[in-house]
A and B are shown apart, each in its own frame.
Chain A
Amino acid sequence: MKEVNKSIPKKEGLGLSFGKPAYTDDLAPRDSLIVKVLRSPFAFARIKDIRTEAAEKLEGIKCVLTYRNVPRNIVTRAGQGYPEPSPHDKFIFDKYVRYIGDEVAAVAAENEAAALEALKLIEVDYEILEPVLDYEKAVDHPSVIHPEKEAHEMFPIGYKPERNIAAEYHMSFGDMEEALDKCEYVVTERYYTQAQNHTAMETHTSLAYVDLQGRLTIVSSTQTPFHARRIAAEALGLPIEQIRVIKPRIGGGYGGKQSLHGEFITALTALRTGRPAKLVYTREEVFEASYTRHPMRIDVTIGADRDANIKAIDMKVLSNTGAYGEHALTVFMVAGSKTLPLYNKAEAVSFGGTVVYTNTTPAGAFRGYGAIQGNFALESTIDILAENIGIDPMEFRTRNMIKEGESSPVFRIMGEGTEGVDMVMESCKLDYCMKRAMELSGWKDKSKRRRQNGKKIKGIGGAIAMQGSGIPCIDMGSAVLKLNDGGFFNLMIGATDIGTGSDTILAQIAAETLGVSTDKIAVYSSDTDLTPFDCGAYASSTTYVSGNAVQKAAMKMKAQIEAAAADRLGLLTEESEFDGEAIWAKDRSKSISLKELSTELYYSYKQKQLLVCGSYCGEISPPPFMAGFAEIEIDIETGKIDLVDYTAVVDCGVTINPKLALIQVEGGLVQGIGMTLYEDVKRTEEGRLLTNDFIKYKIPTRKEINKLTVEFAESYEPTGPHGAKSVGEIGIDTPPAAIANAIYNAVGVRFTKLPITPEDVLLALKKKAFDMD
């Protein structure tokens, strides 16, 4: 391998650190109208009347949009494949507002001051309705959040809006009762995971303008340009051929930009006024009115026999999708489908539950996508069970976890909203990851010994995790490769680089396949007019799905080059061979350089363009695996938890670019650590968000993050491009359980609710001391 498994710098890194105009707002024309959104002050209300005349008359106001003057087409903004597994329950604007922050109206003005002034002049009469704020009381609540007759599911997802149910699902195999009867040890525990905000540094931004041909162009900080085009056409009632979506550089996504935010409004403004229009979310709007992670209540029962073999796992989930059902079914299903296969020898497994609507900020896709919630519940319970059995929890895991060459019935039964696909783990180095992470973290020595130094006690804990590599049989990626004179290539990909470096690693995959160096590949991505289709950046799909498409395109290009050269050299096609520099007769009798051949192809000899397309839709979704170990130190006087070291050993197949893979894992770990220890979305009793800035919503800074030790297992996925699997999400999954297990190891207190704050620890320690007295 020459060009992959190599840490070349990101192609655009230089320009970005230079501060070159690159992101949506940087690219907005200076005369863009400024769009601002009037948001609901009530958690649940019906708009009785709305008066916009005063706002419209204000100087500098060009357009005011309300439910009265926009198309009424119901969609889901989820940004998923089609047909969508999320309910269609969102209008551009509606008579109902369903959470504090929901869109009431929008204004477009010559400048921000006028736009803000106009918002104040819009008069709204609300009929305030009783909100549903407690998700454990949402089902059959007297208030129905989606009474509109248009709300519907595209295929059966258990949608019952009259009962505030956005989705429902159940599955099982084996005889649970019989399996549990045979178990010597059974543990049942209830867990709660909280909402979490993505807090990408670039806030959600959208710019729209009408081009010379009268077509609508939307430039957006989106993770899914092709889905955005389809959904925008649907919501606006516009023919899809009238829309082009361009994704420029993105300042972080993590799932938060998979869905559409603002695109409908800027598009309508541009269409109505003929002027470019931009909407840049404030940080407060991101907190209040974009998305959070789905909060969940998870009940887990695990049973093991006297020899510590796991026989039965039952998981029941109640998930809160907030005011709209984006990703309701799929995130909840992943809580099971990407955790349960870890312990694949269980004879009986059941999973099920309900996703409910509430009058809170909608939940949506967020890195980990249910797996982090399920992992916290499953991997905490594994530790409890191991203690009951009296076995080392890592030995317990190793005995029961999935291994290379094995499968799980869960893969076949559960997909994302649909049935899954059968697959055998052709690459699974989980056993190595576990062994190596134990060595690196010093588990054997540290876990057995009480380590107290004055008021500080250290503890260590671990967890294992898996994710996927794209959504098999649904999500497709494609790539176009074009040879230019002079012998370099354009790689056009729909794949969406949201800051991950996917443009770079896809160029590396093309280069490796062609045998050329990566600097011979110029990449252009994510423009619905100019690049081929790609589902977008979500579900850990880019490296595996788009990467396979690139590899296929490159193989075709290599064949075309060899055919053209054979013709030029007077050989049969099968007699020629491209080595990256030149095309040779296999007997080495003659050759022509690629540079020469390509220039002749365009100027002087049987002129033609070499252009190929490769597309790929996975038949399987090989999971990356990892073992994560947290070492923490608790101050028993203050309850403060310091993360001393986090060790992660990851099997993501071959790392196409080890440095970029490393940052994916480290960044995932830190977001997982943030969710475990710091990040919480808090509301008042009326449903008003309290944590709406970086002071009140605390994400880890450099000071909270000490040592991170990340290593990769040697692994090769035969179905992946040059042996690669995905790496984008796997890093986030283990911190909640690993840290909770480490806290238990240190002070003997089990936390089943996230986040775990110093106050929680202090209270628990006091209670424990009191109970012991």
Chain B
Amino acid sequence: MAMDISFVVNGKRVNIYGNPTARLLDALRDYCGLTGVKEGCGEGECGACSVLVDGKLVNSCIYPIAKVEGKEVLTIEGFRGTEKYEVLKESFEAAGAVQCGFCSPGMLMAAESLLRENPKPDEVQVREAISGNLCRCTGYNTIVEAVLDASIRGEGLW
């Protein structure tokens, strides 16, 4: 049963008439054309589709669009215009944390979510916070290093 769903994506209002159980991931990729949101597993296990909904990190592949009604969604495309993104991106690049890159947008959103809640995380907290984002290319150490580096260089931003 289709219904009207209205929400904000990266600052822009989106109105969708569709199945309320449709996945937020598909709405973002297919309807909004936001291909930075990746599907890695379709069951909320790998984190490649991570976005923020009202500031909270969610896996958009298991998030029905009915739940975003009236809410604000932030994807990598919206985040990348910010100063915080610049800091994180530079840290990821300097650490060599981007390998095949498929997990990177979700990883950056998870890092953003962590730093919003905890601007000065320690290594254990970083490992814990992004343990929901799988990466099969790296040994993870470069990613942890990147997030810790961003928290230092971006002090005051979060």
Tell me the A residues contacting B by CB distance below 8 Å. Answer: 7, 9-10, 12-14, 16-23, 25-26, 30, 198-203, 249-254, 280, 282-283, 498-501, 659-660, 662-663, 666-667, 669-671, 693-695, 699-703, 705, 708
Contact = CB atoms under 8 A, between A and B. Distances in A.
Contacts of A700: 140
B89 A667 contact: no
The 9 closest A-B pairs by CB, nearest first: A19-B36, A499-B100, A666-B139, A16-B101, A251-B102, A694-B45, A19-B76, A659-B96, A26-B35
Interface stretch (B1-9, B127-135, B150-158): B127-135
A498 B100 contact: yes
A199 B136 contact: yes
B136 A662 contact: no
A13 B101 contact: yes
Contacts of A702: 126-127, 130-131, 140, 143-144
Contacts of B40: 201-203, 251, 283
Contacts of A201: 38, 40, 46, 48, 100, 102-103, 134-137
Contacts of A30: 30
Nearest to B139: A666
B102 A7 contact: no
A666 B35 contact: no
A251 B100 contact: yes
Contacts of A283: 40-43, 46
A525 B131 CA distance: 33
A695 B43 contact: yes
A9 B104 CA distance: 15
A200 B89 CA distance: 23
B128 to A, nearest CB: 7
Interface of B: 30, 34-43, 45-46, 48, 75-77, 80, 89, 92-94, 96, 98-105, 108, 126-128, 130-132, 134-144
Most chain A C-beta atoms within 10 Å of own C-beta, residue among B45, B48, B99, B135: B99
Contacts of B128: 703
B42 A282 contact: yes
A660 B39 CA distance: 25
A585 to B, nearest CB: 41
B131 A663 contact: no
Contact of B108 (A17, A251, A501, A666): A17
14 contacts: A9-B93, A18-B80, A19-B37, A19-B80, A23-B38, A201-B134, A201-B136, A202-B38, A252-B100, A252-B136, A283-B42, A693-B43, A694-B43, A703-B131
Given A17-B105, A201-B100, A252-B102, A667 B139 contact: yes
Contacts of B103: 201, 251
Contacts of B135: 201
A340 B92 CA distance: 40
Given A13-B92, A17-B92, A701-B140, 12 more contacts: A16-B102, A17-B108, A22-B101, A202-B38, A202-B102, A283-B42, A500-B100, A662-B142, A663-B99, A663-B138, A666-B141, A702-B140
A24 to B, nearest CB: 11
A282 B142 CA distance: 28
Contacts of A21: 35
A198 B100 CA distance: 14
A203 B108 CA distance: 20
Nearest to B142: A663
Main secondary structure, interface of B, reads loop
Nearest to B101: A16
Most chain B C-beta atoms within 10 Å of own C-beta, residue among A203, A669, A693, A694: A694
Contacts of A501: 99
Contacts of A280: 39
B46 A694 contact: yes
A701 B141 CA distance: 11
Contacts of B36: 18-20
A612 to B, nearest CB: 30
B93 A13 contact: yes
B45 A251 contact: no
B136 to A, nearest CB: 5
Nearest to B107: A17
Contacts of A663: 96, 99, 137-139, 142
Contacts of B38: 23, 201-202, 251
A652 B35 CA distance: 37
A19 B35 contact: yes
Most chain A C-beta atoms within 10 Å of own C-beta, residue among B41, B75, B102: B102
Nearest to B126: A702
Nearest to B124: A703
A42 to B, nearest CB: 25
Contacts of A26: 35
Contacts of A695: 43, 45
A499 B35 contact: no
A13 B90 CA distance: 10
B41 A251 contact: no
Contacts of B93: 9, 13-14, 17
Given A17-B108, A667-B99, A499 B43 contact: no
B34 to A, nearest CB: 8
Contact of B98 (A16, A253, A693): A16
B42 A699 contact: no
A499 B80 CA distance: 22
Most chain B C-beta atoms within 10 Å of own C-beta, residue among A19, A199, A254: A19
A764 to B, nearest CB: 28
Contacts of B141: 666, 705, 708
Most chain A C-beta atoms within 10 Å of own C-beta, residue among B41, B75, B92: B41
Nearest to B37: A19
Contacts of B144: 702
Given A667-B137, A703-B127, A19 B77 contact: yes
A705 B38 CA distance: 24
B137 A252 contact: yes
Given A18-B76, A499-B137, A702-B144, A251 B101 contact: yes
B99 A705 contact: no
A699 B35 CA distance: 25
Contacts of A252: 99-100, 102, 136-137
